[in-house]
Amino acid sequence: MPRRKEFSSMFIQGFLVLAACTFIELGAGTFLKTMEDALRAVGGLAIMTLPLLDLRGNINGAFASRLGSALHLGVIPARLKMTRELKVNVVSSLVLTLMASATIGIMAWATGVLTGVEVDILRLLIISMVAGMLSGVILAFLTIGVAVYSYLRGIDPDNIAAPLMATVGDFITVFCIYIVVLIVG
């Protein structure tokens, strides 16, 4: 059943994606730093940024992982069409995003209160939930695109989708937080 070819392609596809992620990660450092400095101005937001980035990577990593399984199993066809199974997957990711972003907002508020930082809970909740939803929607569709496209091209989505989305997700999420902070003020 498992052929040599399957594992040599895991190695080659995996190496190329991880090398790309390394460069993105190195580039992201400077970009994230600039953005994060701007974000420190909002009380409590600094506590929230890293957990929100991790959360984004986790929800999308799991989504990408489910898509990989579903494509292999044939549960979700390799077409850019919103089938019932795909819709359930997208909606669950977004519901989870809302619940977990709200949890993080409340935790950031509690941490702020305990450590004596002045925080506005409503503002933190709005920022975490709106930025979470915004990045969630963008990344959900990017993940579907990457998984389906790679599957159609004969590339195993399990080898590339989760790593790629986790790395690109950091960029998009920080950018979304930044935009929402600009709007909410």
Partner 1 sequence: MAVYRLGRIVLESYPVLVLCVLIGLIAGLTLEKSLERIEGTMVIVMIPLLNGIGGNLGSILGARLASALHLGVVSPELRGRVLRENVRTSALLGLAIFSFIGVAIFLMALGRGISMFAALKNAAVFMLASLMLLPVIISSTVILAFASFRKGLDPDNIVIPVMTSIIDVAASACLLIIAVNIVGV
**Number of Cβ within a 10 Å radius of residue 185:** 6
Q: Which is nearer to partner 1, 113 or 183 (CB)?
A: 113
- Give the number of other Cβ atoms within 10 Å of residue 8's Cβ: 10
- Report angle CA 123, 125, 130 to the nearest 5 degrees: 100
Rule CB under 8 A: which of 106-165 touch partner 1? 107, 156-163
Where do the H-state alpha helices sit in the chain? Answer: 4-39, 45-73, 84-115, 121-152, 157-184
Which of 127, 131, 166, 180 binds partner 1 (CB under 8 A)? It is 166
Binders of partner 1 among residues 50 to 79 (CB under 8 A) are: 50-51, 54-55, 57-59, 61-62, 64-66, 68-70, 72-73, 75
Using CB under 8 A, pick the residue from 5, 41, 81, 84 that binds partner 1. Answer: 84
Check residue 17 and report its DSSP letter.
Answer: H
Contacts 24+ apart (CB under 8 A), 76-84: 78/148, 78/151, 78/152, 79/148, 80/144, 80/145, 80/148
Task: Count CB atoms within 10 A of the CB of residue 69.
Answer: 12
Supply the minimum distance, in Å, between the C-beta of residue 176 and partner 1.
18
* 14 lies in the binding site for partner 1 (CB under 8 A): yes
How far apart are CB 66 and partner 1 at their closest, in Å? Answer: 4
Q: Which of 27, 29, 115, 122 touches partner 1 by CB under 8 A? A: 29
Binding site for partner 1 (CB under 8 A): 1-2, 6-7, 10-11, 14-15, 17-19, 21-22, 25-26, 29, 50-51, 54-55, 57-59, 61-62, 64-66, 68-70, 72-73, 75, 84-85, 88-89, 91-92, 95-96, 99-100, 103-104, 107, 156-163, 166-167
